[in-house]
Chain A
Amino acid sequence: MSMRIVATGTGIISSLAAGAGDFEAGLYAGRTGIGPKTLFADSVPGGAAGEIRDFAPQQWLGNKGLRVLDRSARLLCVAAHMALESSGLSQQRPAEGDSDLGLVCGTMFGSVHSITSFDWSGLLDGPNLVNPMEFPNTVINSPAGQAAIKHRLRGVNSTISAGLVSGLYAIHYAMEFLRFGRAQALLAGGVEELCEESYLSCKKAGITSPQDRIRPFAPDRDGTVLGEGSALLVLETEEAAIRRGATPFLEVCGFGSSHDAHSIDTFNVRAAGATSAIRLALLAAGIEPDEIGFIVASASGSRTGDAMEAHALENVFGKRLAAVPVCAPKAAFGESLGASGALLAVAAGIALQKNLVPPTAGFEAGEPGLRLSSSPQPFEGDYALVNCFGCDGNNASLVLKAAGSKQ
C-alpha cells in the first residue's frame, strides 16, 4: 500500500537525556549516559549501566496515581506524555480520550521485575499475604495498559515482544494498523527498565562486557552494557497529520524482518537473516541500497553480533559501504533491549532533520570498512537505515527519511 506514514512527535527518555532536545544535544556532543550502576546495588553490587539517574516521573506526570506504577510503566508514561505534547495532540484531544488514538509498545523482559517480586513475596510471606495491587503489574502488557489509563488512549493497545528488535517491530505493527485505517494516530516504540533480573540474565549469559565498556564494532569489544529507557514516535498517515495541521518531520518508509531460526542464544555470523531483513526493508521502501545516506547500527559491542551486522552491511552495500556514514548510538545510552529499536529510530530521525550523522560515543577505531566517527558526519542520500538484530535470530530493519523531502 502506498499510504505514507509519518511521525509528528517524539517522546524519549534514556540514560543519555530526557526529551528529544537534550537527547539530540547529548548525541551530537558524543556524550554517554553510561556510568556506575546504582540500582539494585544491594543484591548485585558494582557494574556499569546506562541507568536513568534520579528518575523523577512526577516532573512530567504529577504525583497522582504514580505509586502503583512500576519503573517500566513510569518510563513509558513519561515518553507518552512527551510524545503527545510534541505532536500537538495534547491540545487537540477530547477530554474523555480518543478511541482512535492508541499505543504499540515493544519490550523484551517486560514486567520481569514486577512478576519476580510478586512471586518472591509469595514465597516469603505465603500466597495469602501478597499485595493484590501488585498483581496487575505482573502481566507483560502492564506498562501499555497503565499508559492507556494515564493518557486516556482508547484505541489499539498492543505490546510487542520480539526480543532485541521489539522496538522496530512495534513501529512496523503501528504502520500496518494505520494503513488498515484502524487508528488515526498511534504512539509506537518501546520500553525497558534496568532491573536485577534482566541484568543478571545478561551478565550470567556473557552478553555484558566484563570490563563494563561498550565499544560497538571496535576490535577489542567484549560485550555490551545494558541501558534502559523508553522512546515513542507519534505515527499518523500523512493525510491525517496534514488534516489536523501537524508538521510531520519523518516518514517511515519500509520495514523488513527475518528470523535466522538457527539458535536461541547466538548470532548467525553468516548474517543470512540480517542481510535479508535489510533487503526486505529497502524493498518495502521501494529504494536501492545506493539511496541510503547513513546507517544507524544495532551494534552493541557484542563480538559476534557486531561482526554479523558488519557482514550483513557488506552483503547489502558492497564496496560502497566504506563511503556510508555509520553511527552506533547504543554507545551513548546502552543496550536498552526492547526499547533499543525505538531509541535508534529516534536518533535516525534527528540525524535526518539535522542533515548530519551523530558521532559514536567513545569511538576510537572501527572495523575496516565501516565509517564510524567520533565527530558528526555529513551524508548524501535521502534515506536512513536503522538496524536491530537479536541473538535469538530475530532481525529487523527500518528505512526512514525526512518528511517532505523529495520522493
Chain B
Amino acid sequence: MRRVVVTGIGLLTPIGSGKEEFWSGLIAGKCGIAPVTSFDTSAFPVHKGAEVKEFKPEVFLRRRSPQEMGRGSQLAIAAARMAIEDSGVEISSYERSRVGVSMGTTSGEPQIVERYNDIRKSEGLDSIPKELPPKYPCHVIPSNVAIEFDLHGPCLMIPTACAAGNYAIGYGFDMIRIGRADLILAGGADPFSRITYMGFARLGAIAPDRCQPFDKNRQGMVPGEGAAILILEPLEAARARGAKIYAEVLGYGVSCDSYHMTAAHPQGDGAMRAMSAAMRESGVSLQDIDYINAHGTGTPTNDRVESLAVRRLFGEYADKIPMSSIKSMIGHTMGAASAIEAAACALAIDTGIVPPTINYEVPDPECDLDYVPNQARRVDPRVVLNNAYAFGGNNASLCIARCEN
C-alpha cells in the first residue's frame, strides 16, 4: 500500500487565516476568543465565542458567487484554495477523477436553518425562497469544493460531529493508500451558529470568559468556527514533484462509547480504544508517541476523562508525553476542530515546536499530565497523536509522523 503524506495546509481560524498567521499565533499563545458578533447574545447567559474575523469569501471563490452557498462552503473553499497554493500542486496536471474531497462537520450549514427560521417567523413558510433550503444538506460543502476546483474523484462529507475532521482525513488517507485517488483535499468546516451556541449554553457547557483546558478552575468550552484542508498525496508523488512534506499520515483509530449522546464514558474506554487502534494501525508503540494534541475542550468532564484515558493507556510513560489543547486559543471549532488540530500536528512535526495550552494556572489532581502550560516548547516530535471526541460517543485518533526514509 502507498504511503500518504501531507503536503499542503490551508486554514481559517479564530486566531488567523493561512498557515503562517495561524502557526505564529499558536506559538505565541494568541487567543481568538472575543465577544460574539455573528448574532445578538443579550438573551444568553454567556457572550464570548471564537469567530473567524474579517473573512472575505469573494477573495477565494473564482467560479461561483458567495451568495450561492452557505458560510460553511465558503470557509471550506477558502481553506482548500490556501491548501492547494501552499502545496504547489498543479491540479490541472492530474486526472480529475483521481482528485477528491473528504470533509467533516458537526452542523454543516446551520446558518441556512437559522435564516429559514427567521423568514418563517417574520413572513411565514411560503416566503422562504426556493434557493435557500437546498444550500443546507451538509454534502453540499464538499460538492461546492469539487465544483470550485473541478475535482471529479471521491467526494463526501463525514458529519461525525466534533471528531469529524479526523474521520475525513482518515478516509482521504484510505483512498490514497488503496490507490483510488492521487490527491485528496481532506479536512473540516463549521460556521459559527446560534443553534450550536444555544445548545451548549443550555447545557451549561460554555465558559463565560476564557477557555482553560485541564486547569482546576476550568469552566467550559467556547464555541468557535473555522475550516482546515490538508493536501494528502502519495509519498512517491510528493517526492517526484519536489514537494515540501510536512508529515506522513500513519494511521487512525475510531471507536464508539455506546454510552451517552453527550457525555464521555467515565473511564475513557472509547478514547483508549481509538488511541490504541490508531497506534496499532500505524505500527508504533506507546513509547514512540512524542506529543498528543488533546481534544481538550475545557469542560470539566472531557478534560478529566481524556487525561484518565491517556494515563490508563500510557501508564507511567504518560508523564513523558507533552499534551496540549489549542482550543485554549482557537476555541472549539466543532467539525473543523480536529482538522485544524491535525494541521497543528503537522506543523509541530515540521517546526519541532509544540503549541501550548494557554490560561493554565492551577493544576487539577484529576488532570495530572504535562499540558505544555502557557509556553510553546521545542520537543522535536517524531510521532504524534491527534485526539478528537464527539457527540454520539464518537472517538477518533489520528497518528501522524515525521516523514523519514
Q: How many residues of A contact B (CB 8 A)?
A: 76
Give the distance in Å from the alpha carbon of A139 to the alpha carbon of B273 in the complex.
23
B267 contacts A by Cβ under 8 Å: no
Interface of B, helix, strand, loop or mixed by DSSP: mixed
B256 touches A153 (CB 8 A): yes
Give the distance in Å from the alpha carbon of A264 to the alpha carbon of B106 in the complex.
21
Q: A99-B255, A146-B261 are in contact. Are A138 and B160 (CB under 8 A)?
A: no
Shortest Cβ distance from B392 into A: residue: A145
Q: List A contacts of B277 (CB < 8 A).
A: 182
Q: A119-B117, A140-B159 are in contact. Are A145 and B133 (CB under 8 A)?
A: no
A201 touches B97 (CB 8 A): no
B152 touches A148 (CB 8 A): no
Binds A, one of B142-150, B224-232, B344-352, B370-378: B142-150
Q: List A contacts of B167 (CB < 8 A).
A: 158
B146 touches A259 (CB 8 A): yes
Q: List A contacts of B146 (CB < 8 A).
A: 259, 261, 393
Partner of B140, one of A136, A169, A280, A392: A392
Q: List B residues 75-90 near A (Cβ within 8 Å).
A: none
A264 touches B194 (CB 8 A): no
Shortest Cβ distance from A126 into B: residue: B43
Give the distance in Å from the alpha carbon of A119 to the alpha carbon of B9 in the complex.
34
Q: How far is the CB of A292 from chain B (nearest CB, A)?
A: 21
B262 touches A136 (CB 8 A): yes
Q: How far is the CB of A1 from chain B (nearest CB, A)?
A: 7
Contacts A43-B125, A160-B158 known; 10 new A-B pairs at CB < 8 A: A109-B137, A128-B44, A128-B201, A135-B202, A142-B392, A154-B255, A197-B136, A200-B128, A259-B155, A264-B134
Give the tally of cross-chain contacts (CB within 8 A): 245
Q: List B contacts of A206 (CB < 8 A).
A: 130
A173 touches B171 (CB 8 A): yes
Binds A, one of B108-116, B214-222, B288-296: B108-116
Q: List A contacts of B194 (CB < 8 A).
A: 119, 122, 127
A162 touches B156 (CB 8 A): yes
A258 contacts B by Cβ under 8 Å: yes
Q: List A contacts of B255 (CB < 8 A).
A: 99, 154-157
A144 contacts B by Cβ under 8 Å: yes
Partner of B143, one of A128, A135, A197, A392: A392
- Across the A-B interface, give the 8 residue pairs with the lowest CB-CB distance, nearest first: A145-B392, A201-B133, A135-B199, A140-B159, A157-B256, A204-B130, A136-B261, A161-B157
5 inter-chain pairs at a CB distance below 8 angstroms, sorted by A residue, are A135-B200, A160-B156, A204-B130, A264-B134, A393-B143
Q: List A contacts of B287 (CB < 8 A).
A: none
B199 touches A205 (CB 8 A): no
B257 touches A154 (CB 8 A): yes
B268 contacts A by Cβ under 8 Å: no
Give the distance in Å from the alpha carbon of A141 to the alpha carbon of B163 in the complex.
11
Give the distance in Å from the alpha carbon of A140 to the alpha carbon of B393 in the complex.
13
A276 touches B178 (CB 8 A): no
Q: List B residues 19-67 near A (Cβ within 8 Å).
A: 43-45
Give the distance in Å from the alpha carbon of A119 to the alpha carbon of B44 in the complex.
14
B157 touches A142 (CB 8 A): no
Shortest Cβ distance from B1 into A: residue: A1
A262 touches B147 (CB 8 A): yes
Interface string of A52-67 (1 = CB under 8 A from B): 0000000000000000
Q: List B contacts of A204 (CB < 8 A).
A: 128-130, 133
Q: A119-B198, A157-B160, A161-B159 are in contact. Are A141 and B256 (CB under 8 A)?
A: no
Q: List A contacts of B117 (CB < 8 A).
A: 116, 119-120, 123
Q: A128-B45, A393-B143, A394-B139 are in contact. Are A182 and B134 (CB under 8 A)?
A: no
B394 contacts A by Cβ under 8 Å: yes
B139 touches A108 (CB 8 A): yes
Q: A44-B125, A161-B158 are in contact. Are A102 and B152 (CB under 8 A)?
A: no
B161 contacts A by Cβ under 8 Å: yes
Q: A158-B167, A161-B137, A201-B136 are in contact. Are A273 and B152 (CB under 8 A)?
A: yes
B157 touches A141 (CB 8 A): no
A166 contacts B by Cβ under 8 Å: yes
Shortest Cβ distance from B260 into A: residue: A149
B107 contacts A by Cβ under 8 Å: yes
Shortest Cβ distance from B45 into A: residue: A128
A108 touches B198 (CB 8 A): no
Q: List B residues 377-403 near A (Cβ within 8 Å).
A: 390-394
Q: List A contacts of B138 (CB < 8 A).
A: 110, 140, 161
Give the distance in Å from the alpha carbon of A149 to the alpha carbon of B393 in the complex.
9
A148 touches B136 (CB 8 A): no
Partner of B147, one of A97, A122, A149, A264: A264
Q: How far is the CB of A53 from chain B (nearest CB, A)?
A: 24
Q: How far is the CB of A248 from chain B (nearest CB, A)?
A: 23
Interface string of A180-213 (1 = CB under 8 A from B): 1010000000000000011011001110000000
Give the distance in Å from the alpha carbon of A224 to the alpha carbon of B259 in the complex.
39
B209 contacts A by Cβ under 8 Å: no
Q: How far is the CB of B335 from chain A (nearest CB, A)?
A: 9
B254 touches A158 (CB 8 A): yes
Give the distance in Å from the alpha carbon of A405 to the alpha carbon of B362 in the complex.
66
Partner of A162, one of B155, B254, B261, B390: B155
A260 contacts B by Cβ under 8 Å: yes
Q: List A contacts of B133 (CB < 8 A).
A: 197-198, 200-201, 204-205
B331 contacts A by Cβ under 8 Å: no
Give the distance in Å from the alpha carbon of A123 to the alpha carbon of B173 in the complex.
42
Give the distance in Å from the alpha carbon of A205 to the alpha carbon of B201 in the complex.
35
B195 contacts A by Cβ under 8 Å: yes
Interface string of B182-206 (1 = CB under 8 A from A): 0000000000001100111111000
Q: List B contacts of A157 (CB < 8 A).
A: 160, 254-256, 258, 392-394
Q: List A contacts of B153 (CB < 8 A).
A: 257-259
Q: A97-B258, A136-B262 are in contact. Are A259 and B393 (CB under 8 A)?
A: no
A261 touches B150 (CB 8 A): yes
Q: A127-B44, A264-B144 are in contact. Are A166 and B258 (CB under 8 A)?
A: no
Partner of B116, one of A138, A197, A392: A197
Interface centre among A132, A160, A204, A261 (most CB of B within 10 A): A261
A152 touches B258 (CB 8 A): yes
B160 touches A109 (CB 8 A): no
Shortest Cβ distance from A265 into B: residue: B134
A325 contacts B by Cβ under 8 Å: no
Q: List A residues 94-120 near B (Cβ within 8 Å).
A: 97, 99, 102-103, 108-110, 112, 115-116, 118-120
Interface string of B261-274 (1 = CB under 8 A from A): 11000000010010
Q: List A contacts of B270 (CB < 8 A).
A: 154
Q: A141-B160, A157-B254 are in contact. Are A115 and B107 (CB under 8 A)?
A: yes
B155 touches A148 (CB 8 A): no
